[in-house]
DNA sequence: TTGCTCCTCACGTCACGTGAGGTGGC
DNA sequence: TTGCTCCTCACGTCACGTGAGGTGGC
């Protein structure tokens, strides 16, 4: 499989398969504005997706499942990213160094918040695992006792 | 605060506070049979909870949030635990060593399944964190560039 | 042409949220 | 007695699931 494959557009069922979700969910995300709608798609015709869009969706689903974010949370997140991307384009012409710095620092803060969320979850999972491990040892002890 | 405090029964609002949930959620869990109902509570009177019950609820909430289990999943889990606990009582009188061993092994298998779920989640969070870290480095690089 | 996947309503469901109106314990 | 928390309906909401009936591309 070549890395620079033709990148055929994907249908909604394929995208659902690739991201571990359902067509209904993808349509719903479009409906609430979490995924962009192709403005040129005629009523009743198929939705088509690029691999890049699949990656973006995969990212959203991970945030949803791993960090427990609501779709409203995710929407805020996406909107902020979009706003920053729009501003980034502006510098390329305007070259306002100070504004550029501010936006980059906002990005950093944002990423920092996400990493802290991840770390908190990891810590909770660590605790849960330690408790399960101790439970496991207890049951193993009982089994050894019983087999004597 | 003594460890062997009188253990005053707690009201639903206090339990909600301690477990980071709401009274409505606790009542709902009772309604669907996920939490036991005190069979002697008169209609309209307050629910009361022990600290032990608070711990059990906390455990359920952790499973729900960290592993993404549905309430149906949790119910299966609780029912299986209850069944094993009942059986454990039976040996104490019957002393059927073979049955005892089987039940303990089922417990072990069960704990093993849970730990694998935890590990899978941890791995996913690790990957997410690595990606966030690389994003962070990229933005930091841009900031350094911009400040030159 | 025949399957298969897609489409758009639209109602159902899960896991609660949110009042409305009323009762109970320090 | 006055607040506060509790109670029980019961309808609302979020995030989809699940048909029903129909169209579109290899």
Q: With H, G, I as helix, E, B as strand and everything else as coil, classify residue A69.
A: coil
Give the number of other Cβ atoms within 10 Å of residue B56's Cβ: 17
Higher-pLDDT residue of B96, B6: B96
pLDDT digits (tens, 9 = 90+) for B75-128: 999 999 998 888 877 766 656 778 888 888 999 999 999 999 999 999 999 999
Closest by CA to B24, choosing from B32, B16, B34, is: B16
Query: Would the pLDDT of B144 be above 60?
Result: yes
In this complex, the residue with its CA at the shortest distance from the C1' of nucleotide D22 is A44
- Does residue A47 approach strand C to less than 7 Å at its CB? yes
Question: How confident is residue A102, by pLDDT bands cut at 50, 70 and 90?
Answer: confident
Burial class of residue A128 (count of CB atoms within 10 Å of its CB; 0-12, 13-18, 19+): buried
Q: Do B143 and A105 touch (CB under 8 A)?
A: yes
Q: What is the mean pLDDT of chain A?
A: 90
Closest by CA to A34, choosing from A1, A65, A88, A70, is: A70
Q: Which residues pair with B10 in a beta bridge?
A: B49
Q: Please tell me the predicted confidence (pLDDT) of residue B1.
A: 41
Q: Residues B10-34, buried b or exposed e (16+ Cβ, 10 A)? A: bebeebbeebebeeebbeebeeeeb
Phi-psi region of A70 (alpha: psi -120 to 50; beta: other; left: phi over 0): beta
pLDDT digits (tens, 9 = 90+) for A114-135: 999 999 999 999 999 999 999 9
Q: Please tell me the predicted confidence (pLDDT) of residue B95.
A: 63
Query: Would the pLDDT of A5 be above 60?
Result: no
Mutate to test the interface with A, among B21, B70, B121, B124 (most CBs of A within 10 A): B121
Distance (Å) from the C-alpha of residue B41 to the closest C-alpha of chain A? 33
pLDDT digits (tens, 9 = 90+) for B35-76: 999 989 999 999 999 999 999 999 999 999 999 999 999 999
Q: Which residue numbers of A have CB closer than 8 Å to B's CBs?
A: 62, 65-66, 68, 97, 100-101, 104-105, 107-108, 111-112, 114-115, 118-119, 121-122, 124-126, 128-129, 132-133, 135-136, 139-140, 142-143, 146-147
Strand D positions closer than 7 A to protein CB: 5-8, 10, 14-18, 22-25
Q: How many residues does chain A have?
A: 148
Q: What is the mean pLDDT of chain B?
A: 90
Q: Using a CB-CB distance cutoff of 8 angstroms, which residues of chain A are in contact with residue B104?
A: 139, 142-143, 146
Question: What pTM was estimated for this model as a whole?
Answer: 0.90
Summarize the confidence of residues A101-106 as an average pLDDT: 88
Nearest chain A alpha carbon to B95: A146
Q: What angle do CA A102, A105, A107 make, to 5 degrees?
A: 115
In this complex, the nucleotide whose C1' atom is nearest to the CA atom of residue A28 is: D16
pLDDT digits (tens, 9 = 90+) for A29-57: 999 999 999 989 999 999 999 999 999 99
- Does residue A32 approach strand D to less than 7 Å at its CB? yes
Query: Would the pLDDT of A92 be above 70?
Result: no
| DSSP H or E segment with residue A63 | helix A51-67
Which DSSP string do the residues of B81-117 spell out, in sequence order? HHHHHHHHHHHHHH--HHHHHHHHHHHHHHHHHHHHH
Q: Please tell me the predicted confidence (pLDDT) of residue A1.
A: 42
- Distance, in Å, from the CA atom of A12 to the CA atom of A54, rounded to the nearest integer, reads 10
Alpha helices, DSSP H, located in chain B: 12-19, 23-31, 51-67, 71-94, 97-146
Q: Please tell me the predicted confidence (pLDDT) of residue B97.
A: 76
Q: Please tell me the predicted confidence (pLDDT) of residue A2.
A: 43
At B56, list the tokens: 């059990």
Higher-pLDDT residue of A102, A90: A102
């Amino acid at each position: 499989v070549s890395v620079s494959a033709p990148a055929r557009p994907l249908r909604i069922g394929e995208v659902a398969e690739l991201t571990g979700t359902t067509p209904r969910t993808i349509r719903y995300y479009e409906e609430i504005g979490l995924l962009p709608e192709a403005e040129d798609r005629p009523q009743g015709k198929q939705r088509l997706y690029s691999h890049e869009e699949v990656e973006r969706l995969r990212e959203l689903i991970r945030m949803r499942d791993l960090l427990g974010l609501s779709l409203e949370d995710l929407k805020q997140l996406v909107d902020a990213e979009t706003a920053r991307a729009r501003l980034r384009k502006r510098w390329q012409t305007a070259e306002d160094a100070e504004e550029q710095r501010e936006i980059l620092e906002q990005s950093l803060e944002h990423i920092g918040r996400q990493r802290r969320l991840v770390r908190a979850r990891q810590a909770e999972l660590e605790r849960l695992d330690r408790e399960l491990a101790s439970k496991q040892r207890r049951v193993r002890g009982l089994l050894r006792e019983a087999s004597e």
